[in-house]
């Protein structure tokens, strides 16, 4: 492990965990952030500055950013695949690369206006999807994201290998509402066991334990506060093995190390 081409995790750690949260739900503000703060942990919150009232509505997220959490870009319109059957709205199959770029750039302008203190942030692909078009004309929009952001979060089975992962489509583990605290700790433990960067993706939270997986639902039910607290307690007690930081911070560390190779 002393090979000069092996990424050195900071603080003598053996891996990293980033907790990421999508869509800026109220339950993240009400449940997840107080628990993170209780354990002195920082996460990455990907929000959508949409609607005429975006600036007033997103003020709580400014406060979140000022306490050390990362507020990331999740586009304004949150355009996903037509296959969800969500109705007449825009879909990835029918928009152009220029349209997605304009949406991402305007979201970035608004987030900079909301939080001038945070000059750089990471991006998160809505619904984990990174393309426009379909079939023979389908094109990746990862190269556009790579122009504007140091890193971006997607989804994937293997945790991120610091030397090998594509920083502009980071793998993440999607957390389902039915997962127990020990399920979450198992996911996080991969970081130190495999010397990898585990990114976890959360959506909604609820105070009570959920009754189980809802077939056909997009994210399943919300995660219980108790499960999340169990994960945070585990992470807080493993700080000497696992580097726990927002996505931006880990990405910057890897970028800086890769630049010096």
- Per CB under 5 A, which of residues 158..197 are in contact with Zn ion? none
Q: Could you say whether residue 23 binds Zn ion (CB under 5 A)?
A: yes
Q: How far is the CB of 206 from Zn ion (least distance, A)?
A: 18
For residues 261 and 153, give the distance between their C-alpha atoms in angstroms, rounded to a whole number.
Answer: 24
As measured in angstroms, the least distance from the Cβ of 12 to Zn ion is 35
Using the minimum distance from each CB to Zn ion, give the nearer residue, 37 or 99: 99
Q: Which range, of 5-13, 23-31, 63-71, 102-110, touches Zn ion by CB under 5 A?
A: 23-31
* Size of interface with Zn ion, in residues (CB under 5 A): 3
Examine residue 103 and tell whether it contacts Zn ion (CB under 5 A).
no
Nearer to Zn ion, 22 or 70 (CB): 22
CB nearer to Zn ion: give 155 or 185.
155
CA 132 to the chain's CA centroid: 21
**For 254, left (φ over 0), alpha (ψ -120 to 50), or beta?**
alpha
Closer residue to Zn ion (CB): 190 or 247:
247
Judge contact between 39 and 232, C-beta under 8 A: yes
* Position of minimal CB gap to Zn ion: 22
Least Å distance, CB 173 to Zn ion, is 16
- Spatial distance between the Cα atoms of 123 and 55, rounded to a whole number of angstroms: 19
List 18, 21, 22, 165, residue binding Zn ion (CB under 5 A): 22
CB of 162 to Zn ion, least distance (A): 26
The alpha carbon dihedral of 169, 191, 26, 56 has a sign of negative
Instruction: Give the shortest CB-95-to-Zn ion separation in angstroms.
Output: 16
Residues 105-134 that bind Zn ion (CB under 5 A): 126
Question: HEC profile for 122-163?
Answer: CEECHHHCCEECCHHHCEECHHHHHHHCCCEECCCCCCECCC
Return the closest-CA partner of residue 128 out of 156, 158, 147, 103: 156
For Zn ion, the closer CB: 22 or 108: 22
- Encoded tokens for 257: 């190390």
Identify which of 61, 92, 98 has the alpha carbon closest to the alpha carbon of residue 79: 92
By the criterion CB under 5 A, which residues form the site for Zn ion? 22-23, 126
């Amino acid at each position: 492990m002393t090979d000069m081409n092996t990424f050195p995790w900071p603080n003598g750690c053996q891996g990293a965990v980033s907790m990421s949260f999508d869509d800026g739900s109220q339950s993240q503000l009400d449940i997840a952030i107080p628990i993170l703060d209780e354990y002195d942990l920082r996460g990455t919150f990907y929000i959508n500055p949409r609607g005429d009232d975006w600036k007033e509505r997103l003020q709580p997220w400014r406060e979140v950013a000022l306490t050390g959490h990362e507020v990331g870009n999740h586009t304004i319109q949150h355009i996903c695949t037509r296959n969800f059957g969500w109705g007449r709205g825009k879909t990835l199959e029918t928009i152009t690369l220029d349209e997605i770029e304009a949406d991402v750039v305007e979201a970035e302008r608004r987030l900079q206006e909301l939080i001038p203190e945070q000059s750089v942030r990471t991006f998160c692909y809505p619904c984990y999807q990174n393309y426009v078009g379909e079939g023979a004309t389908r094109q990746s929009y990862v190269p556009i994201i790579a122009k504007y952001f140091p890193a971006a979060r997607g989804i994937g089975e293997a945790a991120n290998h610091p030397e090998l992962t594509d920083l502009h489509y980071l793998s993440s583990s999607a957390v389902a509402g039915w997962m127990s605290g020990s399920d979450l700790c198992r996911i996080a433990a991969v970081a130190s066991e495999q010397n990898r960067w585990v990114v976890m993706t959360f959506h909604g939270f609820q105070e009570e334990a959920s009754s189980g997986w809802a077939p056909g639902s997009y994210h399943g039910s919300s995660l219980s506060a108790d499960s999340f607290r169990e994960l945070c307690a585990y992470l807080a007690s493993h700080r000497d093995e696992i580097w726990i930081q927002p996505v931006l911070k880990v990405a910057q560390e890897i970028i800086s190390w890769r630049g010096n190779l």
